[in-house]
Structure 1
Amino acid sequence: MNLEAIWADYQSSVKAFLYKHISNPSDVEDLLQDILIKTYQNLGTVKDTKKVKSWVFQIANHAIIDFYRKRATISKINEQVLWYETNEEDIYSQLSHCVTAFINGLPDSEAKLLTAIDIDGISQKDYAALNGMKYSTLKSRVKKSRQNLSELFNQCCELSINSKGELIDFDKRDKKCSSC
């Protein structure tokens, strides 16, 4: 059995398998290297060449399990254990100061709509009923108003969003933003 031949046959399949369970490309590449090393170190233990594929995928599966075990252990660490403490506001808190100003920068009808639904927490169905409009019409208006709000944010700030659609960072643009 030749490691290069085995790896040539199964590398892309193992990588696809890893991507099904782990979203971060860097983590996938690290695990892929770990799997290659373990395959190299233990290739001599495989007696039946027909079982090489399942053996390689078993190594990959164990690597995923170990990855999440390590991650769970790391997440249990709290600020008391760490040698430093962070007093920095999280990103959502920092941007929440701007939301009302941005909403007020929208046309009055859109500002009233988003304030009621997104800030006051009124359901869209209730808002539609209270204002005598069709629910489907309201959904379209909410979507359009949120797009307009997003455009205002993008004029003032450059938002960094991860692969899951979560906000991870922002930078104010060079020009002075009148809304925030």
Structure 2
Amino acid sequence: MNVEHIWGEYRSSLQAFLRKNVSNAADVDDLLQEVLIKTYTHMKTIKDPSQIKSWLFQVANNAIIDFYRKQGRQRLVEGEELWHAEDDSSVHNELSQCLTPFIQALPEGEAQMLTAIEINGESQKSYAEKQGVKYSTLKSRVNKSREHLLELYKECCDFTLDANGNLMDYEQKPSSCNKC
């Protein structure tokens, strides 16, 4: 059981797992490197070689959790640093210009929640406390509202996704979509 063999076998699966959970490619590379370092330094603690795969993915999952915790401790991003305020012609930025009208097309409660969380950057936990609901309940509501938002987008646009489900391109449908 050596690192080169293990890494050769599981690197691409780990990278795909990280990509699924972290959108920035540079961050994915950094996290993958962290997993490699932890694999190298802690591989001797694995007693059963049949458990290596689950151990690696647990290390990757912990790296993702640590990454987002660290992100949460950093200062709040404001104004021109916000992703939806960047002047870039990428697909994501083009669609982000339409985000507010689509959110406003949702029922009022969903619109207020997504505006606070997605546009204003309020944490889900903080929003749940302000609204007096359980955090787990709010997470479910946010996911449902995001699904509703996606359905609104799909009414107006056809999306092209890559093999990993990442958005590659879109084309506005010739229908009477008036949200953007």
TM-score w.r.t. the length of structure 2 is: 0.51
Unpaired runs of 5+ in structure 1?
1-16, 24-87
What is the aligned residue count?
102
CA–CA separation in structure 2 for the residues paired with 1:21 and 1:96: 30
User: Deviations along 1:118-168, whole A, 9 cap, x unmatched?
Assistant: 111111110000111111110111011000000000000011111223211
AA at the equivalent of 1:100: T
Match in the other structure for 1:115: 115
Determine the structure 1 residue equivalent to 2:102: 102
Superposed displacement of residue 19, structure 1: 9.9
- In structure 2, the partner of 1:156 is 156
Q: 1:21 to 1:134 in 2, by over 3 A?
A: closer
Letter paired with 1:136: S
Give the drift of 1:20. 6.4
Moved more, 160-169 or 112-121: 160-169
Alignment partners' CA distance in 1, 2:112 and 2:12: 42
Runs of 5+ in structure 2 lacking a partner?
A: 1-7, 16-87
- SS at 1:106 equivalent: coil
Residue 132 of structure 2 aligns with which residue?
A: 132
Q: Hey, what's the Cα distance between the residues in 2 that align with 1:165 and 1:126?
A: 30
Q: Distance in 1 between matches of 2:105 and 2:178?
A: 9
SS of 1:160's equivalent in the other structure is strand
2:141 is equivalent to residue 141 of structure 1: yes
Q: Corresponding residue for 1:176?
A: 176
- Distance in 2 of aligned mates of 1:19 and 1:125: 34
CA distance 1:19–1:178, shift in 2 (3 Å): farther
CA–CA separation in structure 1 for the residues paired with 2:124 and 2:104: 20
Larger Rg: 1
